Amino acid sequence: GQNIDQPTEMTATEGAIVQINCTYQTSGFNGLFWYQQHAGEAPTFLSYNVLDGLEEKGRFSSFLSRSKGYSYLLLKELQMKDSASYLCAVPPSTDSWGKLQFGAGTQVVVTP
Amino acid sequence: DGGITQSPKYLFRKEGQNVTLSCEQNLNHDAMYWYRQDPGQGLRLIYYSQIVNDFQKGDIAEGYSVSREKKESFPLTVTSAQKNPTAFYLCASSRGAGKNEQFFGPGTRLTVL
């Protein structure tokens, strides 16, 4: 079975840091994706982690611990345009490539 | 410019009518996908296709049908058998293997009256 959990909503002020956690259960791990989705728009790719550790891309970083079934997306120096839903996604098993299972998404609200 | 297009952006249909949503990509991707998104929920996979003339059911295929006659095109038909068709429909494509990111089209918001 497949289970992906993320918080429903997080609020932070402009310039702050927010960490969005994602826990997952799969019958074989084949990487974890993070996507950003603004309201009414298509999701856009942010990061892909397949090895343990932290990967940094500018203001956004993503961390993975395969042994704990855990990832987080770290958003630094928050800007108003970062207000969006952030989706965690994994393939359900190692032989189910492409069949991404998405979490329900975490709505991040950035306030002035 | 390469990308994925979906048309129309908004679609209204009467209950009991079949409707076909268009998805075209010029990224030369082998794999294409259809997702449904409902308010407050993540994306759920309807159908996917790894190669031309082949497709597989996703998690919520009932009431939907697809075809993949060309690499560039993966239309989705929402049939009258789909009990709750009002939703935001997203098409995506990828180079193939699961580790490759999926690129999404702008989506079609279908409302059944």
Q: What digits encode the pLDDT tens for the residues B37-50?
A: 998 788 999 999 98
**Spatial distance between the Cα atoms of B27 and B47, rounded to a whole number of angstroms:** 19
B98 vs A contacts (CB less than 8 Å): 30-31, 91, 96-100
Q: Which residue of A lies nearest to B99 if distances are taken between CA atoms?
A: A31
Q: With an 8 Å Cβ cutoff, are B44 and A102 in contact?
A: yes
Phi-psi group of A77: left, alpha or beta (phi > 0 → left; psi -120 to 50 → alpha; rest → beta): left
Q: Is the pLDDT of residue A33 over 50?
A: yes
Could you tell me which chain A residue has the CA closest to the CA of B39? Answer: A104
Say how far apart CA B43 and CA B89 lie, in whole Å. 9
**Nearest chain B residue (CA) to A41:** B106
Stretch among A84-88, B56-60, B70-74 having the lowest mean pLDDT: B56-60
> Does the pLDDT value for residue A5 go beyond 90?
yes
In Å, what is the CA distance from B29 to each residue of A105, B4, B34, B43?
A: 26, 10, 14, 20
Per-residue pLDDT of A40-95, as tens digits, reads 899 999 999 999 999 999 999 999 999 999 999 999 999 999 999 999 999 877 66
Q: Which residues of B are less than 8 Å from A87 in CB distance?
A: 42-43
